[in-house]
Amino acid sequence: MNKIDEMSKITDSEISENVEVTASVIEESFVDAGTKIGPFAHLRPNSKIGKNCRIGNFCEIKNSTIGDGTKVSHLAYVGDAEIGKNCNIGCGVIFVNYNGKIKQKIEIGNNVFVGSNCNLIAPLKIEDNVYICAGTTVTNNLKENDFVVGRARETIKPNRAEKYLKNYHKKDDEQI
């Protein structure tokens, strides 16, 4: 039995059995059995969500296929993508699929972990069993069992904030 709350809007879509939809929008999409959507998720046209998936708070899925058991838990954008089974797409992950002229595809294999706050820049192919550390921007294809971390070390400059904050603290009636 499905649980679809009154705050959800579903148009021209197919919803399988035992699906939960909470305060979300689903348009021209397919959601397979046992999947939980929302709250505040948006499945845009041509989204295909597999069995026992989780599409969580403030996630947007567009023109993408999500494999069985995959979780896109919160604050993520997945566009023009194919994601395999049993993957984790962390908080704040962005599938960067548009370069200003064309939309390109991102393919992710099975059992891939994408940590929080990552950018995946299309076109991109990520094979099975890859681990992407939080805060990484990925621009190169990744092979099976790759581990990738792409962070710059922070630079701390003591006593410099005042220079950058001086205009921030002006009153509303003062011109910045």
Q: What residues form DSSP beta bridges with 4?
A: 21
3-state secondary structure of 113: strand
Q: What residues form DSSP beta bridges with 30?
A: 14, 48
For the chain, state the CA radius of gyration. 19
169 labelled catalytic: no
Distance separating alpha carbons of residues 16 and 51, to the nearest angstrom: 9
Give the long-range contacts of residues 100-105, CB within 8 A, separation 24 or more: 103/79, 104/80, 105/80, 105/81
The one catalytic residue among 66, 74, 110, 132: 74
Other Cβ atoms within 10 Å of 175 Cβ, number? 5
Q: Which residues contact 67 (CB under 8 A, 6 or more apart)?
A: 50, 53, 83, 84, 85, 86, 87, 110
Which residues are designated catalytic?
74
